[in-house]
């Protein structure tokens, strides 16, 4: 019997994923779930046919150049691939895949949670009750911003953006979006298209970011763009920290331009930006958009489907 391809699984994936991977491949699994150095990625590339990484492993151009020619495919356990220099990997002849579709609902849920929590002052309210400081109540106490029936602007109407739009519609929100191209009426589902951010931002009482981090979108939400939002807007980011100029966001929070922000992504991960911690009106989560059992199983299986196709001599469904 021909030997099985060797796959390095860089992080602790779901039990079901690891079980299937161990059954179908010769695996090297990072049971300790530690983060790897670039040197480790280079070292492992000489020992395996495939790497199944997460967005925490950075395949920069410099690193890719050093990868061993044994490595044939990087089957990402993520939809975002901003951690991979795709051009460098293609030049090296390494196939790259991702896991679209399967995490859209879970990520959109977190965007809804952040939007609601930021608007309705969840951080402050929780802290007051939790620390025994709740000694007062009045109709003027802890008044927030109502989500249902409000207007929301979505930047990036891909699969996650569309899932978020469906949920926002369920809250009776007036949904507007900016995307590189207009969606079909079926996918648009009643949302209003804007050809530019300049058109979308001034009416986005709530703003939710759902586009990938690319050279064009990095730092997209800068001081100028925050200035274009309505006073008292709420911004939510479940996409990538790199989309936001965090100093500009802090200024917008300080000045009161923004009522609140909900963040699942930060420029620096893991860790985030300690400056946000001084704001009660910033609701933060540690990049857990896709962190449900069902979705993590689906992501793992999708990555394995891509490996299966590749090693069967076919084009993987999610080849980039």
Question: Rounded to whole angstroms, how far apart are CA atoms 207 and 116?
Answer: 12
Q: Residue 59 pairs with which residues in a beta bridge? A: 84
Structure tokens at 62: 């410099």
If the CB atoms of residues 164 and 259 are measured against ligand DGY, the closer one turns out to be: 164
Distance CA 266, CA 67 (A): 28
Between 16 and 54, name the residue whose CB sits nearer to ligand DGY. Answer: 54
CB of residue 99 to ligand DGY, shortest distance in Å: 6
Question: Is 287 annotated in the active site?
Answer: yes
3-state percent breakdown (helix, strand, coil) of the chain, nearest 5: 40, 15, 45
Residues in contact with ligand DGY by the rule CB under 6 A: 54-55, 78-80, 103, 289-290
Please pick, among 20, 55, 210, 240, the residue that the annotation labels catalytic: 240
Whole-number minimum distance, CB 77 to ligand DGY, in Å? 7
Task: Supply the minimum distance, in Å, between the C-beta of residue 211 and ligand DGY.
Answer: 12
Q: How far is the CB of 240 from ligand DGY (least distance, A)?
A: 7
- The yes-or-no answer on residue 296 being catalytic is no
Cβ within 8 Å of residue 283, ≥6 positions away? 114, 117, 118, 122, 123, 260, 261, 262, 263
Rank residues 244 and 258 by Cβ distance to ligand DGY and give the closer one: 244
Nearer to ligand DGY, 205 or 318 (CB): 318
Smallest gap, in angstroms, from Cβ of residue 121 to ligand DGY? 26
Element (H, E) at 30: none
Active-site pick, 12, 120, 166, 269: 269
Report the alpha-carbon distance of residue 52 to residue 44 in Å, rounded.
Answer: 12
C-alpha dist (Å) from residue 282 to 255, 286, 306, 314: 14, 13, 38, 46
If the CB atoms of residues 84 and 220 are measured against ligand DGY, the closer one turns out to be 84
Catalytic residue among 77, 121, 287, 296: 287
- Please give the residue whose beta carbon sits closest to ligand DGY in the complex: 80
C-beta of residue 266 within 8 angstroms of C-beta of residue 272 = yes
| Residue 55 designated active-site | no
Residues with active-site annotation? 240, 269, 287
């Amino acid at each position: 019997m021909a030997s099985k391809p060797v796959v390095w699984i860089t992080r602790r994936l779901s039990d079901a994923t690891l079980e299937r991977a161990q059954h179908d491949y010769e695996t090297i699994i990072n049971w300790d779930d530690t983060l790897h150095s670039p040197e480790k990625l280079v070292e492992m590339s000489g020992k395996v046919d495939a790497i199944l990484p997460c967005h925490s492993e950075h395949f920069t151009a410099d690193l890719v150049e050093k990868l061993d020619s044994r490595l044939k495919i990087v089957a990402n356990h993520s939809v975002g691939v901003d951690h991979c220099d795709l051009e460098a990997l293609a030049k090296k002849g390494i196939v790259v895949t991702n896991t679209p579709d399967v995490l859209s609902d879970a990520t959109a849920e977190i965007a809804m949670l952040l939007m609601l929590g930021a608007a309705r002052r969840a951080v402050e309210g929780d802290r007051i009750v939790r620390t025994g400081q709740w000694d007062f109540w009045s109709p003027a106490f802890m008044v927030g911003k109502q989500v249902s029936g409000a207007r929301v602007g979505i930047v990036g109407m891909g699969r996650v953006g569309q899932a978020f739009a469906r949920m926002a519609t369920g809250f009776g929100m007036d949904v507007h979006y900016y995307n590189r191209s207009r969606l079909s009426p079926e996918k648009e589902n009643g949302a209003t298209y804007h050809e530019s951010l300049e058109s979308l931002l001034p009416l986005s009482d709530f703003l939710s970011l759902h586009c990938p981090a690319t050279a064009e979108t990095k730092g997209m939400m800068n001081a100028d763009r925050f200035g274009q939002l309505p006073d008292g807007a709420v911004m939510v980011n479940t996409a990538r920290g790199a989309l936001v100029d965090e100093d500009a966001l802090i200024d917008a929070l300080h000045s009161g331009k923004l009522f609140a922000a909900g963040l699942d992504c930060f420029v620096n991960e893991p860790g985030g930006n300690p400056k946000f911690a001084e704001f009660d009106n910033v609701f933060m989560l540690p990049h857990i958009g896709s962190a449900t059992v069902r979705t993590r199983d689906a992501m793992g299986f999708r990555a394995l489907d891509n490996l299966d196709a590749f090693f069967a001599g076919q084009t993987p469904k999610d080849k980039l």
